[in-house]
Amino acid sequence: MSSIYWYDQQFIPAEAVRISPQDRGYYFGDGVYEVYRVYNGRLFEPGLHFARLARSAAGIKLALPFGEAELQRALEELVLRNEVSEGTVYLQITRGAAPRNHLFPADARPVVMAYCNEMPRPAAAMEAGIRTITLEDTRWLHCDYKTLNLLANVLAKQTAAERGAGDAILHRGGTVTESSASNVMIVKDGRILTHPADNLILHGVTRAVALRLARAEGIPAEERAFTVDELLAADEAFVTGTTVEVTPIISVDDRPIGSGVPGPITRRLQMAFARAIGLDR
């Protein structure tokens, strides 16, 4: 755990950070967040994260209290002060503290909090793949905003764990959207398919990177929604996300995907991703 937080534009010890009980993040989940990956002490794709953060903040009508360059300097300093080499940075911004009222407060200042963690790459899951279950997607209709309203995601992930699975794949009436905390892609006849970046999914940074890498590898990749049936009939499937990178899905509801082991296109994409972050594998 990070020993130093960036909080209210200052670097302070973790134990000194205390949140007001009136923080709108606490009352309403009224805030947005990002999780950055740190490789070799450097933020991965900070520009994509900032663009998404700005989009999420605009979506909930929250004015960010910093610009892109200022934020990046602060987060880089945070990583340096915490001496994190391989890990994550968690950043969240809420609308601030004010007496409880659904209406935006006239004079609240956004509360910004960021910290970082050491976290190795998920080598075991990337190698072996994960088992998954399917669940109806019960989330709201702005999954494209990365907000603090995450209860549906929490419950889906917990249900997956209770059923012995690594993740839950969500669908709306049979159409796969994403998983509890990552995007889902399938491979069929050599082509990658994934849900379009609309209001029903989070626009994952790793999703965008994976699509870019796939195309650079000459693998056709299409943003087109697919069904649970298409998932079950896929040759390969995998999730993409900041902490899971490219992790194979080996089964869905106890039915094997493809031959039940990570497939060749998933492996190619994993290798391309490793090269993109400056590693051999």
**Residues with catalytic roles:** 146
Where does this chain touch its own copies (CB under 8 A) — which range of 44-52, 88-96, 124-132, 215-223? 88-96
Kind and range of the H or E run holding 37 = strand 31-39
| Cα–Cα distance list, 134 to 203, 204, 253, 273 (Å) | 20, 20, 6, 27
Residue-wise burial string across 74-108, b where 16 or more C-beta atoms lie within 10 A, e elsewhere: bbbebbeebebeebbbbbbbbbbbbeeeeeebeeb
Q: Which of 48, 128, 161, 271 is the binder for its own copies (CB under 8 A)?
A: 161
When the beta carbons of 10 and 259 are compared against its own copies, the nearer one is 10
Return d(Cα 192, Cα 185) in angstroms, integer. Answer: 7
- Return the structure tokens found at 150: 């995450």
Is position 142 an interface residue for its own copies (rule: CB under 8 A)? yes
Is position 164 an interface residue for its own copies (rule: CB under 8 A)? no
- For residue 58, the SS3 value is helix
Is position 36 an interface residue for its own copies (rule: CB under 8 A)? no
For residue 184, count CB atoms less than 10 angstroms from its CB and return exposed for 0-12, middle for 13-18, buried for 19 or more. buried
Is position 58 an interface residue for its own copies (rule: CB under 8 A)? no
Q: Which of 42, 73, 100, 212 is the binder for its own copies (CB under 8 A)?
A: 100
Taking the complex as a whole, the smallest distance from the CB of residue 99 to its own copies amounts, in Å, to: 6
Is position 125 an interface residue for its own copies (rule: CB under 8 A)? no
CA atoms within 13 A on the CB side of 98: 16
**Which phi and psi (to 5°) does residue 53 adopt?**
-60, -45
Is position 150 an interface residue for its own copies (rule: CB under 8 A)? yes
Is position 63 an interface residue for its own copies (rule: CB under 8 A)? no
Q: Tell me the chain's radius of gyration from C-alpha atoms.
A: 19
Is position 108 an interface residue for its own copies (rule: CB under 8 A)? no
When the beta carbons of 91 and 126 are compared against its own copies, the nearer one is 91
Is position 141 an interface residue for its own copies (rule: CB under 8 A)? yes
When the beta carbons of 61 and 189 are compared against its own copies, the nearer one is 61
Q: Which of 60, 64, 84, 205 is the binder for its own copies (CB under 8 A)?
A: 60
SS (H, E, C) 190-218: CEEEECCCCCCCCCCHHHHHHHHHHHHCC
Taking the complex as a whole, the smallest distance from the CB of residue 279 to its own copies amounts, in Å, to: 25
SS (H, E, C) 70-110: HHHHHHHHHHHHCCCCCEEEEEEEECCECCCCCCCCCCCCC
Taking the complex as a whole, the smallest distance from the CB of residue 273 to its own copies amounts, in Å, to: 23
Considering only residues 6 through 35, tell me which ones interact with its own copies, judged by CB under 8 A: 7, 17-21, 23-30
Residues binding its own copies (CB under 8 A): 1, 5, 7, 17-21, 23-30, 60-61, 90, 92, 94, 99-100, 102-104, 113, 115, 136, 138-142, 147-155, 157-158, 161, 180-181
